[in-house]
Amino acid sequence: MTGYYFLVSLGYVLLTAAVGAYEARRIRATGPDTISVFIVLFVVQCCLPGIVIYACLPLIDGPAPTDVDAFDRIFAAADLPAALLVLGLTAWFVSCFYLFAALGGRLVRTLLGPSPSGLRLAPTGSAPRLLIVLTLGLTLSVASFYVLGSSMIERFTKLILFRAGEKEVQGSLLNAYGFALTQTWAWLSVPALFVIYERHGRRLWWFLCLFFLVVFAVLGVSRRALFIPLLLTYLTLVLFDHRWRPRWLLAAAIPMLLWIAFGKELIGTIAFEGTLGEVVERYGSFSASFLRAASEIGITIVESLGSINLLDLPTRFGVDHLLSPLRQIPTSHYWLGILPDRIVRLSTAAFSTPDAQDIPPGLFGQMWMDFRVFGPVVWGLIMAAQMSVVQYAFARTIRTRQAAALFTLSTFVVALPLNTGTYDFTFSIDIYVLVLCIFLTFRWVRVRLPTAGLASGAARA
């Protein structure tokens, strides 16, 4: 039956084309907006990987094509009906999202009313405050890195092992928070670069901020530590000037795919004393390398496939979304003893081993377990409601680079569950600190524009 997976791949091709055509028509007059950013994140994580995954599966031989235990276990249990179900849930979700986003936009405009004629908002970041925050973040990250060992090689090796959850590396509280917040400082560095550029151009402060971002990417010791800041930068530019820059995408596609496919092994050669030859020989075929890279990008599709096939649970009715914020409360051990087990621990045990790091259930797997066929309706409503508020604010904001960067980052935070299907990574210390830092470093200014400048100076709802 694996030969029929090509039909699933074709289904994702048609879905991607349909979403792209509808989005192009929707923004024809106004240009890309925050809904467009959300849809790009959705397509990158939930549509494009599906094309590659199901095109490669019929070409794979052997029980461990990706050499990732969780992926290989999921693919071994996969079947055509489950793959088609995930595809159907994907299409059903994006349809519901578009519908509720349109209705939500009208509702928000009705409740909050139109902005006064000629009056627009201008989010303005403070370059000195941003640099102070990033300097404090860099100090914390470097300090947590420094205490890991007595030499640079030892520290970097232990940092990689610490991130991988190896038990032989006993990290302190400083290491835990220092590492967890590294991505916070990296993400905050992106709007900081645009704030400084608009205020001072590419001068010393801008290059200093760029240096901070590079250090945070290195200390993140992961592929996403480099990939996400680049993605945020690209989407910021698209949101600012409405140019999609296809040449940039084509130029970056091959190195990014290579980084996703081999980056983990390249980083691992430092900690596990591997060689570059072993990295090159990592895959037995091109199909296996494409399957692994697509699975890493579209991890939510793979995990959803696993949740449907390997998890036999009663309907959850959204209880997992309540557990996500509760686990941050100091007395959460009491509440979690009363409430059901967290879904990420159940999915981890099903996909790997009970002692492994959290493996989420995937967006569409969580939808199915929440409300079965009505899951995409509920999830579409929840995410559309959030994006309606973000889009309402964006439509009344003067379009500057720093405003585009701030709204891109906000949309990215809203879209985090697309990658996992859980709010565990939204209600977490790094996101709390990120939101706090934005409030400390940005302020909203009301600006009255000349009537003639309204059409070009502000986005329309």
Range of the domain at 161: 2-450
Instruction: Check whether 435 has a pLDDT greater than 50.
Output: yes
Query: What is the spatial distance between Cα 210 and Cα 205, in angstroms, rounded to a whole number?
Result: 9
Residue at 232 is within a domain = yes
Residue 29 DSSP code: T
Query: 3-class SS at 119?
Result: strand
Residue at 420 is within a domain = yes
What is the chain's length?
A: 461
Rounded to the nearest 10°, the torsion over CA 36, 37, 42, 43 is 70
Instruction: Check whether 165 has a pLDDT greater than 80.
Output: no
Residue at 458 is within a domain = no
Query: What is the spatial distance between Cα 167 and Cα 191, in angstroms, rounded to a whole number?
Result: 36
The per-residue DSSP string of 399-456 comes to --HHHHHHHHHHHHHHTTHHHHSSSTTTSSHHHHHHHHHHHHHEEEEEEEPPGGGHHH
pLDDT at res. 240: 97
Residue at 460 is within a domain = no
Largest CA distance in the chain: 67
Angle of helix 69-77 relative to helix 343-351, nearest 10 degrees, comes to 80
> Which residues make Cβ contacts (< 8 Å) with residue 367, sequence separation at least 6?
89, 93, 375, 376, 378, 379, 421
- Please check whether residue 73 is in contact with residue 352, taking contact to mean a CB–CB distance below 8 angstroms: yes
Q: What percent of the chain has pLDDT over 70?
A: 90
Residue at 461 is within a domain = no
- Please check whether residue 187 is in contact with residue 230, taking contact to mean a CB–CB distance below 8 angstroms: no
Q: Tokens representing 98?
A: 């578009």
- Please check whether residue 82 is in contact with residue 8, taking contact to mean a CB–CB distance below 8 angstroms: no
87 closest CA partner among 26, 171, 7, 33: 7
Tens-place pLDDT, residues 38-64? 999 999 999 999 999 999 999 987 778
Query: What is the spatial distance between Cα 360 and Cα 423, in angstroms, rounded to a whole number?
Result: 10
180 closest CA partner among 435, 451, 429, 450: 429
- Out of 53-57, 365-369, 401-405, 449-453, least confident range: 449-453
Residue at 455 is within a domain = no
Tens-place pLDDT, residues 258-304? 888 777 777 767 666 666 556 656 666 788 888 988 999 999 999 99
365 closest CA partner among 93, 97, 96: 93
How many domains, in total, are found in the chain? 1
pLDDT at res. 210: 97
pLDDT at res. 19: 98
- Prediction pTM value: 0.93
Sign of the CA dihedral running 66, 69, 70, 74: positive
Instruction: Check whether 447 has a pLDDT greater than 50.
Output: yes
Instruction: Check whether 130 has a pLDDT greater than 50.
Output: yes
Mean pLDDT computed over every residue of the chain: 89
Residue at 425 is within a domain = yes
